[in-house]
Structures are given as C-alpha cells and as structure tokens.
Amino acid sequence: MSEQVYQPDFLPDKFESGTPNTPGIAGLGAGVAFIRKTGIENVQRHEQELTGALIQGLKDIKGVSIYGPQDIKQRTAVVSINIEERDCGEVSMLLDQKYGILCRSGLHCAPLAHRTLGTLKAGACRISPGLFNTVEDIEKVVRAVYEIINS
C-alpha cells in the first residue's frame, strides 16, 4: 500500500503506516526497565526532595514569584517561576548561557494554564528537577536566580 496517498481504514493497518519506530520502542523498553529496577517510589522521593529544596531556596528571594502549591506532596517536580521585571525568555537565556542551567520559558503549550495563573502575557520559566539532578544542582539554580535578580 506504499503507493497510496491515503491511510487504510482497517485494523491494524490504519495505525501502522510507515516504518515502525524501532529505536523509540527500544528506548521505551529500556526506560521502563530502568524505572522498574530503580523503583518509582525512589524516583518520586528524590524528585520531591529536590523540588522541596528548590522551592525552599527560591521562596525567600525578593522578586521571585513561584506558581503552584508550595507543599511538595501537592505538586509534581515542575516549578514555574518569574523574576520581577525580567522577561522569562531573558531569564532562561541567562540561566543557560551564564550558568549552564537549562529551563523552559514561555507558555509551555498551555495557554489556558497560564491564563489561570495570570501569566498569559509574560509566560514563566519552568524548572524541572529530575532523577539525575542533585541537591548541588538545585543550590546552583538558587544562586543563579539570586545573582540574576541582583545584577
């Protein structure tokens, strides 16, 4: 059916056009095996620890707005912030270029969430601690945000 310009409408062919994503399937399998070996509870505990440290470190810095609940049991390991009178794209660029810290800025493909937060016009910087991050990484983020505010 390769010569056809339309998708078949019968199963399983309608879901199997093109070459199967074999590398993606292998990667998914390896990821699932890793999580099963590590333990999802251990991943969650580590991410909560880092998220708590990040919120704790940022909450007392004058000029930083943290969005979402501060109770780590009420959130995932995603912390969205803004720095007073700074464009989130500029903050993201500074974190990357000056400090080697990667974050995501903008609306995160979620304009309705940003409308709810009141950040639809400005967007936000999204910092996402993960299993391969350390407490030292979080301390580096907090120091960098402090320096950006005071520069």
Is residue 109 flagged as an active site residue? yes
Cis peptide before 12 (omega within 30 of 0): yes
Cα separation values, 44 from 47, 53, 72, 73, Å: 5, 14, 11, 10
Read off the tokens for 23: 């590398």
Q: Which of 88, 103, 109, 125 is catalytic?
A: 109
- Cβ atoms < 10 Å from Cβ of 21: 10
Pairing mode, strands 124-127 and 79-83:
antiparallel
Residues marked active site are found at 109
